[in-house]
Amino acid sequence: MIRFQSGGRTIRRPGTEARKVAPDPADRPAPAAPVQLAPAPSGRPASQPQAPLTLSPEDARARLRRGETFAALVVTGPLNLAGSAWLRALPDWLRCTALNVDDCAHLSTLPADLHAERVSARRCPNLHEVDGRLSIREGLNLSGSGLRRIHADLHATRLNVAGCRDLSAITGAVSVVHLDVRRCAALTTLDPGLHVTQTIDVAGSGLRALPGHIRAGLRWNEVPVDARVAFTPEALNGREVMAVRNVQRRRVLLDRLGIDRFLEDVGGLVLDRDHDAGGERRLIRVPFDNDEDLVAVLVQCPSTGGRYALRVPPHLRTCREAVAWTAGLSVTDYQPTQEA
């Protein structure tokens, strides 16, 4: 009997002696290729770990809370550190499915090399700058944080920096599908390196125009608008507002034009008149076909002489009721001894 052994198999042939056959090199498994970790952008480079530590979300949170530090960390799920007053730093190189560091008052930086499906770092007052390399598949939400500058290699579907009032620059290689810069009053220009492919919400921001390289659709508090509504509301008029059928869009136009200008253009039905220390007051109503009526009280400041239109609930029927409502009082509790 002959026995042939090749790659772990033994073949027997009757009537012959057994002998060993050396394994064929082609049958040997190829060695695994080493994982190459690309460096983070210059300015704040991340280390290139040979063997990053892998932990469950629970273990990662517990060890970070004990103050342990890691150069590189892979978390096998979502890492939720929201509200952690003890959190001051994260690993420079971090991989997880989702990262939540909302309301972490002492966190001042994000990882220099960060990959995740979603990242939320809302209301972090000491997070003044974001740099490094961030690849966020779905969204990066930094709204309400103390951001002053973003300079990063950043790719995300959504970048939300709404309410970051001190944010003045978004630079680097930033590419997003949707950008939300609402109430970013210090942001007056957009860098040529910023790439926005679909929408940008500019309500209450410091922007007065979009640069030519950004062709994204404009939004004002999530409502589609054109550049005139967003950046030159003084060109609007009350008749244009009345002609808009879409309720959300009409409300945006009314907000951009202002109640005073709107009533100057369209007039309205006078529901009530009276006098106070400033002079005549009038309660005006303008009906809308598919929305609640606009009701506003027109008052004059006795000190400056300036006239103001204050919108009030549509069920009010007298100037006194309307003015009391603007003061947060009922008409019986509103008893001013002197109106200034």
On whether both 218 and 293 belong to a single domain, the answer is: no
- For residue 75, what are the domain limits? 53-235
pLDDT (0 to 100) of residue 29? 45
Residue 24 has pLDDT above 90, yes or no: no
Task: Determine the Cα–Cα distance for residues 164 and 140; give it in Å rounded to an integer.
Answer: 14
- pLDDT band of residue 51 (cuts 50, 70, 90) is confident
pLDDT by residue (tens digit) across 188-202? 999 999 999 999 999
Q: Which of 235, 263, 289 is the last residue of a domain?
A: 235
Residue 335 has pLDDT above 90, yes or no: no
On whether both 184 and 89 belong to a single domain, the answer is: yes
Place of tokens 């239109």: 309
On whether both 133 and 270 belong to a single domain, the answer is: no
Q: How does DSSP classify residue 22?
A: P
| In the chain, % of residues over pLDDT 90 | 76
Give the phi and the psi of residue 180 in degrees, each rounded to 5: -120, 110
pLDDT greater at residue 298 or residue 32: 298
Residue 265's alpha-carbon distances to 261, 295, 301, in angstroms, are 6, 15, 22
On whether both 202 and 249 belong to a single domain, the answer is: no
* Residue 10 included in any domain: no
On whether both 211 and 73 belong to a single domain, the answer is: yes
On whether both 202 and 269 belong to a single domain, the answer is: no
- pLDDT mean over 133-141: 96
On whether both 63 and 120 belong to a single domain, the answer is: yes
Question: Please, which residues bridge with residue 220 across strands?
Answer: 223
* Residue 155 included in any domain: yes
pLDDT (0 to 100) of residue 11? 44
Q: Which of 174, 206, 235 is the last residue of a domain?
A: 235
| In the chain, % of residues over pLDDT 70 | 84
Would the pTM of this model clear 0.85, i.e. be above it? no
Average per-residue pLDDT in the chain?
87
10 Å Cβ neighbour count for 176? 25
pLDDT (0 to 100) of residue 25? 46
Characterize the bridge pairing of strands 72-75 and 93-95: parallel
Task: Determine the Cα–Cα distance for residues 305 and 303; give it in Å rounded to an integer.
Answer: 6
* Residue 41 included in any domain: no
Q: Which of 235, 269, 286 is the last residue of a domain?
A: 235
Residue 20 has pLDDT above 70, yes or no: no
3 state SS of 251: helix
Cβ-based neighbours of 117, under 8 Å, separated by 6 or more: 97, 98, 136, 137, 138
pLDDT greater at residue 115 or residue 304: 115
Residue 38 has pLDDT above 60, yes or no: no
* Residue 191 included in any domain: yes
- pLDDT band of residue 19 (cuts 50, 70, 90) is very low
pLDDT by residue (tens digit) across 271-327? 999 998 888 999 999 999 889 999 999 998 888 888 899 999 999 999 999 999 999
- pLDDT mean over 234-259: 94
Please tell me which of 41-50, 173-182, 301-310 the model is most confident about, judged by mean pLDDT.
Answer: 173-182
Angle of the 247-257 helix axis to the 259-266 helix axis, nearest 10: 100
Provide the domain count of the chain. 2
- pLDDT mean over 18-41: 44
* Residue 120 included in any domain: yes
* Residue 287 included in any domain: yes
- pLDDT mean over 153-166: 97
pLDDT (0 to 100) of residue 338? 52
* Residue 259 included in any domain: yes
